[in-house]
Structure 1
Amino acid sequence: MAKSSKSEKSDRRQVIDDIRRKQKSAEKRQGMAIVGVCIAVALIIVGVAAYNPVKTAIQKARYSGTPLDEIGAKAGACQKVETKVATGSGEHVPTGTQVTYDEAPPAFGSHWNEAGVAPDPAANRFYTADGRPELESLVHNLEHGYSVLWYDETAADDTSEVAAIKAIAATLDENDTNGRLKFKAVPWTKKDGKAFPKGQHIALTHWTQDATTQEQLGVWQYCSEVSGAAVEKFMLDYPFTNSPEPYVP
Protein backbone atom coordinates (compact mmCIF):
# COMPACT_ATOMS: atom_id res chain seq x y z
CA MET A 1 0.00 0.00 0.00
CA ALA A 2 1.44 3.45 -0.90
CA LYS A 3 2.33 5.78 1.93
CA SER A 4 0.02 8.68 2.57
CA SER A 5 1.09 12.18 1.66
CA LYS A 6 1.30 12.99 5.37
CA SER A 7 3.67 10.08 6.00
CA GLU A 8 5.92 11.07 3.09
CA LYS A 9 6.19 14.61 4.42
CA SER A 10 7.14 13.27 7.83
CA ASP A 11 9.89 11.08 6.32
CA ARG A 12 11.29 13.97 4.34
CA ARG A 13 11.31 16.17 7.43
CA GLN A 14 13.16 13.46 9.32
CA VAL A 15 15.78 13.22 6.58
CA ILE A 16 16.20 16.99 6.53
CA ASP A 17 16.50 17.14 10.32
CA ASP A 18 19.13 14.40 10.24
CA ILE A 19 21.11 16.31 7.61
CA ARG A 20 20.88 19.51 9.64
CA ARG A 21 22.03 17.76 12.80
CA LYS A 22 25.01 16.30 10.97
CA GLN A 23 25.87 19.72 9.51
CA LYS A 24 25.68 21.38 12.94
CA SER A 25 27.82 18.64 14.44
CA ALA A 26 30.41 19.03 11.66
CA GLU A 27 30.38 22.83 12.05
CA LYS A 28 30.83 22.51 15.79
CA ARG A 29 33.79 20.17 15.36
CA GLN A 30 35.27 22.51 12.76
CA GLY A 31 34.80 25.50 15.07
CA MET A 32 36.44 23.69 17.96
CA ALA A 33 39.34 22.73 15.70
CA ILE A 34 39.80 26.37 14.62
CA VAL A 35 39.70 27.54 18.23
CA GLY A 36 42.23 24.88 19.13
CA VAL A 37 44.56 25.97 16.36
CA CYS A 38 44.21 29.63 17.40
CA ILE A 39 45.01 28.76 21.01
CA ALA A 40 48.04 26.74 19.93
CA VAL A 41 49.31 29.60 17.73
CA ALA A 42 48.75 32.09 20.56
CA LEU A 43 50.67 29.91 22.99
CA ILE A 44 53.53 29.59 20.52
CA ILE A 45 53.64 33.37 20.04
CA VAL A 46 53.57 34.01 23.78
CA GLY A 47 56.17 31.30 24.34
CA VAL A 48 58.53 32.73 21.74
CA ALA A 49 58.10 36.26 23.14
CA ALA A 50 58.78 35.08 26.68
CA TYR A 51 61.63 32.72 25.86
CA ASN A 52 64.48 35.21 25.51
CA PRO A 53 63.61 37.34 28.59
CA VAL A 54 63.18 34.22 30.71
CA LYS A 55 66.41 32.69 29.40
CA THR A 56 68.26 35.97 29.98
CA ALA A 57 66.93 36.17 33.56
CA ILE A 58 68.05 32.60 34.26
CA GLN A 59 71.51 33.28 32.85
CA LYS A 60 71.79 36.58 34.75
CA ALA A 61 70.91 34.77 37.99
CA ARG A 62 74.01 32.63 37.65
CA TYR A 63 76.13 35.76 38.14
CA SER A 64 74.54 36.52 41.51
CA GLY A 65 77.33 37.35 43.94
CA THR A 66 79.98 37.12 41.21
CA PRO A 67 82.75 39.76 41.35
CA LEU A 68 82.67 42.26 38.50
CA ASP A 69 85.93 41.01 36.99
CA GLU A 70 84.53 37.47 36.71
CA ILE A 71 81.42 38.39 34.72
CA GLY A 72 81.52 37.60 31.01
CA ALA A 73 84.70 37.14 29.00
CA LYS A 74 88.30 37.81 30.01
CA ALA A 75 89.73 41.28 29.44
CA GLY A 76 91.61 39.86 26.46
CA ALA A 77 88.37 40.01 24.49
CA CYS A 78 88.93 43.76 24.19
CA GLN A 79 91.23 45.74 21.94
CA LYS A 80 93.65 48.48 22.97
CA VAL A 81 92.17 51.79 24.07
CA GLU A 82 91.86 54.49 21.41
CA THR A 83 91.67 58.24 22.01
CA LYS A 84 90.79 61.32 20.00
CA VAL A 85 90.83 65.02 20.82
CA ALA A 86 87.39 65.90 22.15
CA THR A 87 85.23 68.93 21.45
CA GLY A 88 81.72 69.97 22.42
CA SER A 89 82.00 70.54 26.15
CA GLY A 90 79.29 72.98 27.20
CA GLU A 91 77.89 73.07 23.66
CA HIS A 92 74.15 72.59 24.19
CA VAL A 93 71.64 72.28 21.38
CA PRO A 94 67.85 72.45 21.84
CA THR A 95 66.25 69.21 22.99
CA GLY A 96 65.00 67.36 19.93
CA THR A 97 67.74 68.67 17.66
CA GLN A 98 69.57 65.72 16.12
CA VAL A 99 73.35 65.84 16.25
CA THR A 100 75.48 63.91 13.77
CA TYR A 101 78.32 62.15 15.56
CA ASP A 102 81.28 61.03 13.48
CA GLU A 103 82.27 58.14 15.72
CA ALA A 104 80.44 54.88 16.38
CA PRO A 105 79.56 55.25 19.18
CA PRO A 106 80.19 58.86 20.28
CA ALA A 107 82.46 59.68 23.21
CA PHE A 108 82.03 63.48 23.08
CA GLY A 109 80.27 66.26 21.19
CA SER A 110 77.41 68.73 21.31
CA HIS A 111 74.41 67.52 23.26
CA TRP A 112 71.04 68.28 24.82
CA ASN A 113 70.66 69.94 28.20
CA GLU A 114 67.31 69.41 29.93
CA ALA A 115 66.68 68.34 33.52
CA GLY A 116 65.51 64.73 33.74
CA VAL A 117 66.26 64.15 30.05
CA ALA A 118 69.83 65.14 29.31
CA PRO A 119 71.82 63.90 31.07
CA ASP A 120 69.80 60.74 31.55
CA PRO A 121 69.03 60.11 35.27
CA ALA A 122 71.74 58.20 37.13
CA ALA A 123 69.40 55.51 38.46
CA ASN A 124 68.86 53.97 35.03
CA ARG A 125 71.90 51.80 34.27
CA PHE A 126 70.66 49.32 31.66
CA TYR A 127 68.57 49.89 28.54
CA THR A 128 67.23 47.89 25.62
CA ALA A 129 66.49 49.40 22.20
CA ASP A 130 62.86 50.01 23.16
CA GLY A 131 63.52 52.55 25.89
CA ARG A 132 67.02 53.87 25.32
CA PRO A 133 67.65 57.62 25.69
CA GLU A 134 68.68 59.55 22.61
CA LEU A 135 72.37 59.83 21.80
CA GLU A 136 72.29 63.54 22.57
CA SER A 137 71.23 62.75 26.15
CA LEU A 138 73.88 60.08 26.63
CA VAL A 139 76.67 62.34 25.36
CA HIS A 140 75.76 64.73 28.18
CA ASN A 141 76.18 61.79 30.58
CA LEU A 142 79.65 61.26 29.12
CA GLU A 143 80.49 64.92 29.78
CA HIS A 144 79.57 64.31 33.43
CA GLY A 145 82.02 61.44 33.78
CA TYR A 146 79.98 58.38 32.87
CA SER A 147 81.48 55.31 31.29
CA VAL A 148 79.04 53.97 28.72
CA LEU A 149 78.97 50.37 27.50
CA TRP A 150 77.36 50.13 24.08
CA TYR A 151 76.26 46.75 22.72
CA ASP A 152 75.38 46.23 19.07
CA GLU A 153 72.50 44.23 17.57
CA THR A 154 74.55 41.04 17.42
CA ALA A 155 75.15 41.23 21.17
CA ALA A 156 71.52 42.21 21.75
CA ASP A 157 70.40 38.98 20.07
CA ASP A 158 72.68 36.88 22.29
CA THR A 159 70.91 36.11 25.58
CA SER A 160 74.16 35.17 27.32
CA GLU A 161 75.74 38.51 26.36
CA VAL A 162 72.69 40.47 27.50
CA ALA A 163 72.66 38.53 30.78
CA ALA A 164 76.31 39.43 31.42
CA ILE A 165 75.69 43.10 30.55
CA LYS A 166 72.71 43.21 32.92
CA ALA A 167 74.81 41.56 35.63
CA ILE A 168 77.58 44.14 35.18
CA ALA A 169 75.08 47.00 35.47
CA ALA A 170 73.47 45.41 38.54
CA THR A 171 76.83 44.77 40.23
CA LEU A 172 77.96 48.37 39.71
CA ASP A 173 74.62 49.59 41.02
CA GLU A 174 74.87 47.45 44.14
CA ASN A 175 78.43 48.63 44.84
CA ASP A 176 77.83 52.32 44.15
CA THR A 177 77.45 53.65 47.68
CA ASN A 178 78.55 57.21 46.92
CA GLY A 179 77.35 57.89 43.38
CA ARG A 180 80.81 57.60 41.90
CA LEU A 181 80.36 54.49 39.75
CA LYS A 182 78.79 56.38 36.88
CA PHE A 183 77.84 53.75 34.32
CA LYS A 184 75.26 53.00 31.68
CA ALA A 185 74.78 50.04 29.33
CA VAL A 186 72.88 50.93 26.18
CA PRO A 187 72.24 49.43 22.73
CA TRP A 188 73.76 50.69 19.49
CA THR A 189 71.55 50.12 16.45
CA LYS A 190 71.91 50.53 12.71
CA LYS A 191 69.87 53.73 12.78
CA ASP A 192 72.38 55.28 15.19
CA GLY A 193 75.27 55.19 12.74
CA LYS A 194 77.96 53.00 11.27
CA ALA A 195 78.84 49.59 12.66
CA PHE A 196 81.58 48.88 15.18
CA PRO A 197 84.89 47.57 13.79
CA LYS A 198 84.61 44.10 12.28
CA GLY A 199 84.17 41.37 14.87
CA GLN A 200 83.61 43.86 17.71
CA HIS A 201 80.18 43.96 19.34
CA ILE A 202 80.85 45.92 22.53
CA ALA A 203 82.24 49.45 22.93
CA LEU A 204 83.25 51.32 26.08
CA THR A 205 83.41 55.12 25.88
CA HIS A 206 84.46 57.95 28.20
CA TRP A 207 85.07 61.69 27.92
CA THR A 208 88.21 62.82 29.75
CA GLN A 209 89.74 66.15 30.72
CA ASP A 210 93.27 66.49 32.06
CA ALA A 211 93.16 68.45 35.31
CA THR A 212 96.51 70.14 34.56
CA THR A 213 96.46 70.85 30.83
CA GLN A 214 92.66 70.92 30.44
CA GLU A 215 93.11 68.80 27.31
CA GLN A 216 89.98 66.80 26.54
CA LEU A 217 89.92 63.37 24.89
CA GLY A 218 87.31 60.92 23.77
CA VAL A 219 88.18 57.36 24.80
CA TRP A 220 87.07 54.11 23.14
CA GLN A 221 87.69 50.45 23.77
CA TYR A 222 86.07 47.84 21.52
CA CYS A 223 85.47 44.22 22.55
CA SER A 224 84.36 41.09 20.75
CA GLU A 225 82.48 40.02 23.89
CA VAL A 226 81.36 41.77 27.03
CA SER A 227 83.94 41.60 29.80
CA GLY A 228 83.41 42.65 33.40
CA ALA A 229 87.18 42.61 33.89
CA ALA A 230 87.61 45.08 31.02
CA VAL A 231 84.82 47.30 32.37
CA GLU A 232 86.44 47.32 35.81
CA LYS A 233 89.86 48.31 34.43
CA PHE A 234 88.38 50.89 32.06
CA MET A 235 86.53 52.62 34.89
CA LEU A 236 89.64 52.56 37.11
CA ASP A 237 91.78 54.02 34.33
CA TYR A 238 89.12 56.59 33.41
CA PRO A 239 87.22 57.53 36.58
CA PHE A 240 84.38 60.01 36.58
CA THR A 241 86.67 62.61 38.17
CA ASN A 242 88.71 63.15 35.00
CA SER A 243 85.78 64.40 32.91
CA PRO A 244 84.79 67.97 31.92
CA GLU A 245 81.98 68.17 34.53
CA PRO A 246 82.59 65.38 37.06
CA TYR A 247 80.64 66.58 40.06
CA VAL A 248 77.30 67.00 38.31
CA PRO A 249 74.93 63.97 38.59
Structure 2
Amino acid sequence: MAEERSGYGPRIAAAATALGAVLLVVAATPFLRAYADPASRRPAAAIGVDADRAGCDPELTDRISGAGLHVGPGTAEPYVTRVRYDLVPPSSGPHFVVPAPTVRRFYVTRDRPPIETLVHNLEHGYTVLWYVEPLAPDQIEALRALARTFGDDRYGGRFVVAPWDLDYGAFPAGRPLALSHWGAQAGYRQFCATVSGAAVQRFVLAHPPRDAPEPTGM
Protein backbone atom coordinates (compact mmCIF):
# COMPACT_ATOMS: atom_id res chain seq x y z
CA MET A 1 0.00 0.00 0.00
CA ALA A 2 2.81 2.42 0.82
CA GLU A 3 4.34 1.84 -2.60
CA GLU A 4 0.96 2.50 -4.27
CA ARG A 5 0.43 5.72 -2.30
CA SER A 6 3.92 6.93 -3.10
CA GLY A 7 2.93 7.28 -6.78
CA TYR A 8 -0.03 9.56 -6.06
CA GLY A 9 2.04 12.71 -5.56
CA PRO A 10 3.82 12.70 -8.92
CA ARG A 11 0.60 11.77 -10.71
CA ILE A 12 -1.36 14.55 -9.03
CA ALA A 13 1.38 17.05 -9.83
CA ALA A 14 1.42 15.93 -13.46
CA ALA A 15 -2.36 16.24 -13.70
CA ALA A 16 -2.27 19.71 -12.17
CA THR A 17 0.44 20.77 -14.60
CA ALA A 18 -1.59 19.45 -17.54
CA LEU A 19 -4.73 21.21 -16.33
CA GLY A 20 -2.81 24.45 -15.89
CA ALA A 21 -1.51 24.19 -19.45
CA VAL A 22 -5.03 23.65 -20.79
CA LEU A 23 -6.37 26.67 -18.89
CA LEU A 24 -3.50 28.79 -20.16
CA VAL A 25 -4.24 27.83 -23.75
CA VAL A 26 -7.94 28.59 -23.29
CA ALA A 27 -7.19 32.00 -21.81
CA ALA A 28 -4.70 32.83 -24.53
CA THR A 29 -6.87 31.69 -27.45
CA PRO A 30 -8.56 35.08 -28.09
CA PHE A 31 -5.19 36.81 -28.14
CA LEU A 32 -3.70 34.17 -30.41
CA ARG A 33 -6.62 34.51 -32.81
CA ALA A 34 -6.27 38.28 -32.89
CA TYR A 35 -2.57 37.96 -33.61
CA ALA A 36 -3.17 35.33 -36.25
CA ASP A 37 -5.80 37.48 -37.98
CA PRO A 38 -3.91 39.32 -40.73
CA ALA A 39 -6.69 41.91 -41.12
CA SER A 40 -6.24 43.10 -37.54
CA ARG A 41 -2.58 43.94 -38.21
CA ARG A 42 -2.97 45.50 -41.64
CA PRO A 43 -3.19 49.26 -42.21
CA ALA A 44 -6.77 50.49 -42.33
CA ALA A 45 -6.57 51.22 -46.04
CA ALA A 46 -5.55 47.61 -46.73
CA ILE A 47 -8.74 46.15 -45.22
CA GLY A 48 -11.40 45.30 -47.77
CA VAL A 49 -11.30 46.79 -51.26
CA ASP A 50 -9.84 50.04 -52.50
CA ALA A 51 -12.02 53.13 -52.06
CA ASP A 52 -12.65 53.39 -55.80
CA ARG A 53 -14.09 49.84 -55.81
CA ALA A 54 -16.24 50.24 -52.69
CA GLY A 55 -19.27 51.52 -54.58
CA CYS A 56 -19.71 54.44 -52.20
CA ASP A 57 -22.27 57.12 -53.00
CA PRO A 58 -21.36 60.78 -52.60
CA GLU A 59 -21.34 61.90 -48.99
CA LEU A 60 -24.56 63.49 -47.74
CA THR A 61 -24.68 66.57 -45.49
CA ASP A 62 -27.69 66.80 -43.17
CA ARG A 63 -29.28 69.39 -40.95
CA ILE A 64 -28.88 68.39 -37.30
CA SER A 65 -31.42 68.32 -34.52
CA GLY A 66 -31.92 66.84 -31.08
CA ALA A 67 -28.72 67.95 -29.37
CA GLY A 68 -29.13 67.24 -25.66
CA LEU A 69 -32.67 65.97 -26.25
CA HIS A 70 -33.07 62.84 -24.14
CA VAL A 71 -36.17 60.66 -24.35
CA GLY A 72 -37.22 57.34 -22.88
CA PRO A 73 -36.60 55.93 -19.38
CA GLY A 74 -35.15 58.42 -16.93
CA THR A 75 -36.54 61.46 -18.76
CA ALA A 76 -39.71 63.56 -18.81
CA GLU A 77 -40.89 61.25 -21.62
CA PRO A 78 -40.40 57.78 -20.11
CA TYR A 79 -43.09 56.31 -22.37
CA VAL A 80 -40.93 56.79 -25.48
CA THR A 81 -39.49 53.45 -26.53
CA ARG A 82 -38.67 54.33 -30.09
CA VAL A 83 -37.80 57.44 -32.09
CA ARG A 84 -39.00 57.88 -35.67
CA TYR A 85 -35.96 59.41 -37.31
CA ASP A 86 -36.30 61.51 -40.44
CA LEU A 87 -33.10 60.09 -41.91
CA VAL A 88 -31.90 56.54 -42.56
CA PRO A 89 -29.60 56.04 -40.79
CA PRO A 90 -29.83 59.06 -38.47
CA SER A 91 -26.93 61.45 -38.21
CA SER A 92 -28.52 63.30 -35.27
CA GLY A 93 -31.76 63.38 -33.33
CA PRO A 94 -33.42 62.60 -29.99
CA HIS A 95 -31.81 59.73 -28.12
CA PHE A 96 -31.79 57.67 -24.95
CA VAL A 97 -30.03 58.95 -21.82
CA VAL A 98 -27.13 56.49 -21.65
CA PRO A 99 -24.79 55.87 -24.63
CA ALA A 100 -23.42 52.44 -25.49
CA PRO A 101 -20.36 51.32 -23.48
CA THR A 102 -17.02 52.40 -24.89
CA VAL A 103 -15.57 48.91 -24.42
CA ARG A 104 -17.57 47.49 -27.33
CA ARG A 105 -16.66 48.27 -30.93
CA PHE A 106 -18.49 45.57 -32.90
CA TYR A 107 -22.07 44.39 -32.49
CA VAL A 108 -24.29 41.74 -34.05
CA THR A 109 -28.08 41.73 -33.98
CA ARG A 110 -28.44 39.77 -30.75
CA ASP A 111 -26.39 42.24 -28.70
CA ARG A 112 -26.84 45.54 -30.54
CA PRO A 113 -27.94 48.45 -28.34
CA PRO A 114 -31.10 50.31 -29.38
CA ILE A 115 -30.66 52.66 -32.31
CA GLU A 116 -31.56 55.51 -29.95
CA THR A 117 -28.64 54.55 -27.70
CA LEU A 118 -26.15 54.61 -30.55
CA VAL A 119 -27.43 58.03 -31.66
CA HIS A 120 -26.28 59.26 -28.25
CA ASN A 121 -22.82 57.90 -29.14
CA LEU A 122 -22.99 59.94 -32.33
CA GLU A 123 -23.60 63.06 -30.24
CA HIS A 124 -20.36 62.28 -28.37
CA GLY A 125 -18.25 62.25 -31.53
CA TYR A 126 -18.56 58.64 -32.63
CA THR A 127 -18.76 57.50 -36.20
CA VAL A 128 -21.09 54.53 -36.58
CA LEU A 129 -20.64 52.10 -39.45
CA TRP A 130 -24.03 50.44 -39.91
CA TYR A 131 -24.45 47.24 -41.87
CA VAL A 132 -27.51 45.39 -43.13
CA GLU A 133 -27.51 41.65 -42.53
CA PRO A 134 -26.87 39.17 -43.97
CA LEU A 135 -23.35 39.90 -45.19
CA ALA A 136 -20.79 37.42 -46.51
CA PRO A 137 -18.41 36.06 -43.85
CA ASP A 138 -15.42 37.84 -45.37
CA GLN A 139 -17.29 41.15 -45.14
CA ILE A 140 -18.11 40.54 -41.48
CA GLU A 141 -14.49 39.74 -40.69
CA ALA A 142 -13.40 42.90 -42.48
CA LEU A 143 -15.90 44.89 -40.40
CA ARG A 144 -14.51 43.34 -37.21
CA ALA A 145 -11.02 44.38 -38.28
CA LEU A 146 -12.21 47.92 -38.98
CA ALA A 147 -13.85 48.08 -35.55
CA ARG A 148 -10.53 47.18 -33.93
CA THR A 149 -8.55 49.56 -36.11
CA PHE A 150 -10.72 52.66 -35.87
CA GLY A 151 -11.59 51.99 -32.23
CA ASP A 152 -7.91 52.56 -31.50
CA ASP A 153 -6.68 55.82 -29.98
CA ARG A 154 -4.84 56.64 -33.19
CA TYR A 155 -8.22 57.56 -34.68
CA GLY A 156 -9.72 59.01 -31.52
CA GLY A 157 -11.19 55.72 -30.30
CA ARG A 158 -14.79 56.67 -31.13
CA PHE A 159 -15.96 54.20 -33.72
CA VAL A 160 -18.65 51.54 -33.60
CA VAL A 161 -19.81 48.92 -36.09
CA ALA A 162 -23.42 47.83 -35.61
CA PRO A 163 -26.17 46.10 -37.60
CA TRP A 164 -28.95 48.34 -38.82
CA ASP A 165 -32.57 47.67 -37.84
CA LEU A 166 -34.66 47.65 -41.02
CA ASP A 167 -37.76 48.53 -38.99
CA TYR A 168 -36.31 52.05 -38.94
CA GLY A 169 -36.14 52.20 -42.74
CA ALA A 170 -34.31 50.66 -45.68
CA PHE A 171 -30.94 51.53 -47.12
CA PRO A 172 -30.69 52.22 -50.88
CA ALA A 173 -30.65 49.09 -53.03
CA GLY A 174 -27.21 47.55 -53.31
CA ARG A 175 -25.87 49.62 -50.42
CA PRO A 176 -25.76 47.44 -47.27
CA LEU A 177 -23.26 49.74 -45.49
CA ALA A 178 -23.63 53.27 -44.19
CA LEU A 179 -21.42 55.62 -42.19
CA SER A 180 -22.93 58.35 -40.04
CA HIS A 181 -21.43 61.13 -37.93
CA TRP A 182 -23.04 63.93 -35.92
CA GLY A 183 -20.94 67.05 -36.40
CA ALA A 184 -21.15 70.29 -34.48
CA GLN A 185 -22.69 72.10 -37.47
CA ALA A 186 -24.06 69.30 -39.66
CA GLY A 187 -24.62 65.58 -39.88
CA TYR A 188 -22.87 63.38 -42.41
CA ARG A 189 -23.79 60.07 -44.05
CA GLN A 190 -22.33 57.89 -46.77
CA PHE A 191 -23.62 54.62 -48.24
CA CYS A 192 -21.29 51.96 -49.66
CA ALA A 193 -21.67 48.65 -51.48
CA THR A 194 -18.76 46.76 -49.95
CA VAL A 195 -16.29 47.10 -47.10
CA SER A 196 -13.39 49.42 -47.76
CA GLY A 197 -10.97 50.47 -45.05
CA ALA A 198 -9.75 53.26 -47.31
CA ALA A 199 -13.26 54.68 -47.71
CA VAL A 200 -13.91 54.44 -43.98
CA GLN A 201 -10.57 56.06 -43.19
CA ARG A 202 -11.38 58.97 -45.49
CA PHE A 203 -14.75 59.51 -43.77
CA VAL A 204 -13.34 59.20 -40.22
CA LEU A 205 -10.48 61.61 -40.88
CA ALA A 206 -12.86 64.12 -42.45
CA HIS A 207 -15.14 63.94 -39.40
CA PRO A 208 -13.00 63.46 -36.27
CA PRO A 209 -14.44 62.90 -32.77
CA ARG A 210 -13.78 66.51 -31.78
CA ASP A 211 -16.34 67.63 -34.39
CA ALA A 212 -19.43 66.83 -32.35
CA PRO A 213 -21.99 68.57 -30.13
CA GLU A 214 -20.55 66.88 -27.03
CA PRO A 215 -17.04 65.72 -27.90
CA THR A 216 -16.02 65.21 -24.27
CA GLY A 217 -19.00 62.99 -23.40
CA MET A 218 -18.31 59.33 -22.80
2:186 paired residue number: 217
> Structure 2 residue aligned with 1:176, among 153, 158, 161?
153
1:160 paired residue number: 138
In the alignment, structure 1 residue 85 sits paired with structure 2 residue 69: no
In the alignment, structure 1 residue 197 sits paired with structure 2 residue 197: no
Runs of 4+ residues over 6 Å off in structure 1 = none
Q: Which amino acid aligns with 2:203?
A: F
2:26 paired residue number: none
> Structure 2 residue aligned with 1:134, among 101, 114, 118?
114
Deviations 1:28-82 (A, max 9, x none): xxxxxxxxxxxxxxxxxxxxxxxxxxxxx89x92314110111012112122110
Percent of pairs with identical residues: 42
In the alignment, structure 1 residue 149 sits paired with structure 2 residue 129: yes
5+ unaligned residues in a row in structure 1: which ranges?
1-56, 210-215
Distance 1:189 1:135, change over 3 A: closer
Give the distance between the partners of 1:93 and 1:229, measured in 2 at CA. 36
Deviations 1:179-224 (A, max 9, x none): 8220000001323x22111111100000011xxxxxx311101000
Give the distance between the partners of 1:218 and 1:204, measured in 2 at CA. 11
5+ unaligned residues in a row in structure 2: which ranges?
1-32, 74-79
| Matched length | 177
Q: Assess if the C-alpha contact under 8 Å between 2:122 and 2:182 holds in 1.
A: yes
Q: Which amino acid aligns with 1:181?
A: G
Which of structures 1 and 2 has the bigger CA Rg?
A: 1
Q: Assess if the C-alpha contact under 8 Å between 2:130 and 2:162 holds in 1.
A: yes
In the alignment, structure 1 residue 120 sits paired with structure 2 residue 100: yes
Q: How many Å apart are 1:146 and its aligned residue? A: 0.2
* Structure 2 length-normalised TM: 0.76
Q: How many Å apart are 1:86 and its aligned residue? A: 0.6
* Structure 1 length-normalised TM: 0.67
Deviations 1:130-185 (A, max 9, x none): 00000110000000000000000142xx1011000001111233x326x8220000
Q: Which amino acid aligns with 2:166?
A: K
In the alignment, structure 1 residue 73 sits paired with structure 2 residue 49: yes
RMSD of aligned residue pairs (Cα, Å): 1.9
1:188 paired residue number: 164
Give the distance between the partners of 2:81 and 2:173, measured in 1 at CA. 30
Give the distance between the partners of 1:181 and 1:226, measured in 2 at CA. 20
Q: How many Å apart are 1:94 and its aligned residue? A: 2.2
Q: Assess if the C-alpha contact under 8 Å between 2:62 and 2:91 holds in 1.
A: no
